[in-house]
Chain A
Amino acid sequence: MTDDRTTIAMLSEQLADAVATAGAALVAVHARPRLPSTGVHWKDGVVVTTEGTIRREDNIEVTLPDGRRIPATLAGRDRGTDLAVLRIAPGSLPVATLGDPAALRPGHLVLALARLDEGGPRAAFGAVSATGGKWRCWKGGEIDQWLQSDLDIYPGFGGGPLVDAAGRIHGVNSGGLSRALATTIPVATVSRVTTQLLERGYVARGWIGAAMQPVQLDPTSRQRLKHEGGLLLLSVEPDAPASRAGLLIGDVIVAIDGQSVEGFDQLLDVLGAGDVVGKQLRLEVVRAGQPVSVEVVIGERPRRAR
């Protein structure tokens, strides 16, 4: 019995150590009225938070662990992955110790951390609920791993890290990506998006400028063309990659670079991958019942006003 109690007391101390370790790399981000959000000092001079908590682009400040409030500038924001990156003076606080989210399994003990004010870091505790591979969130961004936890994301915890019992940071928690469980944007996604935001202020995504709908081919075409279905073009924007390539309304895209297309997933995977702008795609298209080959140069998705 005494051993059990000692073990629990040790676990409690270990959790508090993890909070202290990871909390040393956290700031409070003042970029909205009333309650600040949390930011992670991802690399020296670079703070990551969630895009949804940035309500103003100027006069942003962060509160450091020692209570000092210093100015920050917005380097960029990406609505698709709900991430925003701020620049602060280098050497202001320790840099986050990152973990490998692939090592997390359902049932692992985890903490969500926050810094809201000049007080210490705050913590919520729970367990990893579900893990998995790549997914696309409803905001459109590609997230490298599925990572959900049974944790309460309290007001101000958005932008804060998911931390394991050793204090390693496995990603950034977003209050905006799903409702039922806490969703974490994993380290790989945060690092990839951060690099792009620091380079050009936004994330460039592939685009061909056409609206489509998945369709099945009629039985004769199916047999003749050896394709089950594809994507039917419903509209083609003027002066866009699709129109420049000569794609027409009514065309059915049945293959991309030799791979059969049945729905949106294959196309979105191609367009959503990194560094695709300028790349050429070979599309197999059914036009008026006849197979046609079309070359499209992937463009950059126009950035719409928020």
Chain B
Amino acid sequence: MTTMSAAFLSDQAERLRASVVGIASGGRGRPAGGAAIAWTGDLFVTSAHVVTGSHATIVTPDGRAVPGDVVRRDAERDIAVVHAPGAGVPPVATANPATLRAGSLVFAVGHPFGVRDAVSVGVLQAVSPLPRGYGLNGKGSFVWIQADVRLAPGNSGGPLADAQGRVIGVAAMVVSGVALAVPVPDVERLLAGLT
């Protein structure tokens, strides 16, 4: 192997941070409560529990507050789509997490405890239903991206990406210390017909 670069994931992180926005329920002027991902055009993907109403305001990386509407929501799967016309945020590249093996490098971008666009790095544990014994009120039978990466409140709705910076899922929660994210195919299903 060639010498490990000191740059590590910084290029990929910089590129991804440009596509992550802050988001809060309701009209303009509210502080960012969670994160959202510029998916395509003016569509943003986030966690359903971050946008509880029918309107949401996104805050772009350059600090503009742009009002939007929640156009799709799957509360059970905990993902939602927000349409914010004129936001002009570059969209992310995506990849199916099923192509990654356990141990592959992953990283998250979000706003843990309000820190804007914080990066945390770890590895993939599994893309599967949760192991029996990891309780999640019946939602354990969904396929989850399970990762050894640090998430905190404020990471919700933000991206989990592979070593090439491609988004593989939407950060949702932490169960038994394990970071859980909704896999890209489930996001694509929710987006069907919109793009």
Contacts and interface: CB of A to CB of B under 8 A. Distances in A.
Residue of B8, B125, B162 with highest tally of chain A CB at under 10 A = B125
Given A124-B123, A155-B133, A8 B12 contact: yes
Contacts of A9: 163-164
B56 to A, nearest CB: 33
A12 B133 contact: no
Interface string A237-248: 000000000000
Contacts of B12: 5, 8
B132 A12 contact: no
A125 B103 CA distance: 8
A156 B131 contact: yes
6 contacts: A5-B11, A16-B102, A117-B132, A123-B102, A123-B103, A125-B123
A249 to B, nearest CB: 50
B141 interface: no
A111 interface: yes
Residue of B3, B8, B123, B128 with highest tally of chain A CB at under 10 A = B123
Interface stretch (A17-25, A81-89, A187-195): A17-25
Contacts of A117: 131-132
Interface string B141-177: 0000010100000000000001110000000000011
Contacts of A5: 11-12, 164
B60 to A, nearest CB: 25
Interface residues of A, number: 36
Given A11-B105, A35-B134, A154-B176, 10 more contacts: A15-B104, A16-B101, A16-B104, A120-B101, A120-B102, A120-B126, A123-B123, A124-B125, A124-B148, A154-B125
B5 interface: yes
Nearest to B100: A16
A5 B163 CA distance: 8
Interface of A: 1, 3-5, 7-20, 23, 34-36, 111, 116-117, 119-125, 152, 154-156
Nearest to A34: B133
Residue of A8, A16, A119, A154 with highest tally of chain B CB at under 10 A = A8
Given A12-B163, A122-B102, A154-B176, A35 B123 contact: no
A121 B131 CA distance: 12
Nearest to B133: A35
A153 B193 CA distance: 42
B1 interface: yes
Interface in B75-104: 100-104
Contacts of B123: 15, 111, 123-125
Residue of A3, A15, A36 with highest tally of chain B CB at under 10 A = A15
Given A19-B101, A116-B131, A123-B123, A155 B1 contact: no
A107 to B, nearest CB: 12
B112 to A, nearest CB: 16
A154 B4 CA distance: 28
Give the top 4 A-B pairs by smallest Cβ distance, nearest first: A35-B133, A19-B103, A12-B163, A16-B101
Contact of A119 (B2, B128, B134): B128
Residue of A23, A124, A152, A156 with highest tally of chain B CB at under 10 A = A124
B102 to A, nearest CB: 5
Nearest to B163: A12
A176 to B, nearest CB: 16
B178 interface: yes
Contacts of B163: 8-9, 11-12
